[in-house]
Amino acid sequence: MNTNFGVVDEPNPRGGQDDLGIGKHAQALTEFIKVAPTPMTIGIQGEWGSGKTSVLNTIYFELEQLGHVKQIWINSWESSLLSTPEESLIKIINEILSSLIECDVNKTRVERVKSLSSNVFRGALRVGANLALGDKASEITEELLGQQSSSIKQLRESLSAITNEIMTRDTNPFKKIVVYVDDLDRIEPKDAVRVLELLKNIFNVQGCIFVLAIDYQVVVKGLENKFGKRSEDNEWEFRAFFDKIIQLPFMMPLGQYNIGSYVGKLLRQVGFTLDKEINEDKINSIVRLSVGGNPRSLKRLINSLSLIMLFIQADVDDENENILQDGQLKAVLLALLCIQIAYPKIYDLLVKHPGFSDWSSDIAFEQTKGLEDIDSEQFNKDLELASKTQHFDEDWQKALFRVCYVTQSYRRKASEVSQLLNLIKNELLKDNEEQLETVIARIIEETSVTTVNTTDEISNYKPKFRKTNFGDWGAYSSSMLADIPADQVTDMKLVHDKFVEMFGSDLEIKYSPSFISFRKAHATGRQKIAFRLDPSKKQIDLFISLLQRSKLPNSPPAPDFFVKKYTSGSRIWWRYQVSIKNFDNQEFCTLLDGVFSSIT
């Protein structure tokens, strides 16, 4: 067994293998840096964990091979640890200065730069002391760029002389200076903005290119004290500031990442193999509809999966089937983990009602408390439009729409949630759809240990649908029907015995916690399922697939019992239901006999 459990959340190292398929983008940026005029500032934009550091590492490695580019790496997060904002600024600026002046042979100029920078830093500390007495934080940079403007100007001129000397010296190997400032999005947004302003004003010198890992949203947050909350009216002010600092913005191409291949490799790394039919395209669909392409989120997914694998393996015994031995169930496990991470409210609903294909408006109301009906006219219009699409044309999908509607973030993702649940039902469980509730509940039981919730509801959840197969009617009824009224148990036993009488040795019975399924012995695959007895709904369900109806009429027989027709994968299904009380209806029994005899 593979003993590598979990993956480390680290950026791709310099010269490392490009698993995400972003090498071509880093290569294009590298080529741009080689020929770009200076001064120039490039902003590598993307949400936290999107791979910005990996891109910076790739650029650094490529330029390092040239031998004529002076490269300076600054980690703003490390500089901010155990430091005040002012001290952090000083550390960052001083680290860049030290790396530059170490290349200068003119000792007098070096000392002048040190003296000028000290003046600037003293100003920073003085302003910082004022901040401690209650002055507005936004004033620090104005102070530095105002009263200290003379020192900054002289400092910039001295730095220009240094960079010019470095690149014109006969013995100098460097033709360009590239400064990387990483992890700006990990420090306080207002501090990140101060760093940007000082970098722009101090290091705006010939020969220098700055490559900054920064998210535009961080800049917006850091400027709110200055411009107020962002709105349509003041958006241009935020954008103008960003454009003043950044001459070339580059957005991390999350949508172009080779997610299927990347996740597939991580899964193999932790020993989680799937059936061949669960290919990279299907993995890609599961992930894109939920977690998305953020590498950090994907690694969290794999680590959660690794922990769950350990729990499952520790919990296996003679009565508890190891779902890790079933490639189909493992794929469902992966999908449910994705839902847990991306859509925790939907996961919570699955905990309470795992049979999502039976969700109703009543179940939705448990979750929404009727909030969708506050503006009932608008909601009904939106629901009507959604119902005309394939994602919300079934009752359970309409219930899902209600649940998603009350939260803006879920409303935007409602179609993705529906597609993912349909993928589970119609593709991952295509050979086991009639046991959807049991399968989902069984896997939910395992995945609940990695959920993040503000309550103990999930951690205290005691699964109702433990994966257990009872050997016969006696074992099943004593374990599962103890709380069922005696007359209902009697009716169920009559139905059970009637089926045994009708089909004899051709009948294979499986007693599971959710229902009893009656199958044709020695049949294979999906055709094996004939009908099931559901005690919770007091009914018999009959499923007829396209391949099963070869001996039946083209139009549904027994219309009084016909429920609906739906597509499941490449098959068309007819579903019938009859109450346990009416199990001996002649028309239904004839239909049942026809279905059973058509199974091969």
Q: What pLDDT digit, counting tens, does each position of 205-236 carry?
A: 788 899 999 888 888 888 888 888 888 888 89
pLDDT of residue 386: 92
Residues 385 and 379: their CA atoms lie apart, in Å, by: 10
Average pLDDT (507-525) is 71
Closest CA to 198 of 103, 74, 102, 106: 74
Topology of the domain comprising 26-252? Rossmann fold (3.40.50)
The token pair at 124 is 């920073």
Residues 106 and 97: their CA atoms lie apart, in Å, by: 15
Q: Beta strands 208-213 and 40-45: pairing type?
A: parallel
Q: Considering the chain, tell me which residue range(s) the CATH 3.40.50 domain(s) occupy.
A: 26-252
pLDDT band at 559 (very low <50, low <70, confident <90, very high): low
Residues 49 and 45: their CA atoms lie apart, in Å, by: 11
pLDDT of residue 545: 52
At 158-206, the pLDDT tens digits run: 667 767 766 666 656 778 889 999 888 888 888 888 878 877 776 777 8
Least confidently predicted of 411-415, 442-446, 553-557: 553-557
Closest CA to 148 of 125, 191, 119: 119
Residue with tokens 């004003």: 201
At 57-92, the pLDDT tens digits run: 999 999 999 888 889 898 887 777 666 666 666 777
132: pLDDT strictly greater than 60: no
The token pair at 19 is 């698993």
3-state secondary structure of 64: helix
336: pLDDT strictly greater than 90: yes
**Amino acid at position 203, single letter:** F
Residues 252 and 491: their CA atoms lie apart, in Å, by: 62
Architecture per CATH, domain 473-598, reads as Alpha-Beta Complex (3.90)
Phi–psi pair at 152, nearest 5 degrees = -65, -40
Q: Where are the alpha helices (DSSP H) in 353-454?
A: 361-368, 376-387, 395-405, 408-412, 414-423, 436-447
Q: Which element (helix H / strand E) includes 507?
A: strand 507-511
What is the largest distance, in Å, between two alpha-carbon atoms of the chain? 107
Our CA angle for 412, 417, 419, nearest 5°, is 115
Q: Considering the chain, tell me which residue range(s) the CATH 3.90.1150.20 domain(s) occupy.
A: 473-598
Q: Please give the order of strands across the beta sheet that includes 562-568.
A: 507-511, 516-520, 529-534, 539-545, 571-579, 562-568
Least confidently predicted of 176-180, 272-276, 330-334, 545-549: 545-549
- For residue 175, what is the DSSP state? S
Least confidently predicted of 182-186, 426-430, 445-449: 445-449
124: pLDDT strictly greater than 60: no
Signed CA dihedral, 57, 63, 65, 68: sign only: negative
Select, from the ranges 52-61, 477-486, 566-575, the one with the highest average predicted confidence (pLDDT): 52-61
Residue 103 contacts residue 70 (beta carbons within 8 Å)? yes
Residue 70 contacts residue 141 (beta carbons within 8 Å)? no
Q: How many CB atoms lie within 10 A of CB 350?
A: 22
Mean pLDDT of the chain: 76
138: pLDDT strictly greater than 70: no
pLDDT of residue 145: 46
pLDDT of residue 346: 94
At 459-493, the pLDDT tens digits run: 344 444 444 556 788 888 887 777 778 888 888 88
Average pLDDT (16-43) is 87
pLDDT of residue 555: 57
- b/e string for 511-536 if b means 16 or more Cβ within 10 A? bbbbbbbbbbeebeebebbbbbbbbe
At 34-51, the pLDDT tens digits run: 999 988 999 998 887 788
Beta bridge pairs of residue 534: 539
Residues 413 and 272: their CA atoms lie apart, in Å, by: 28
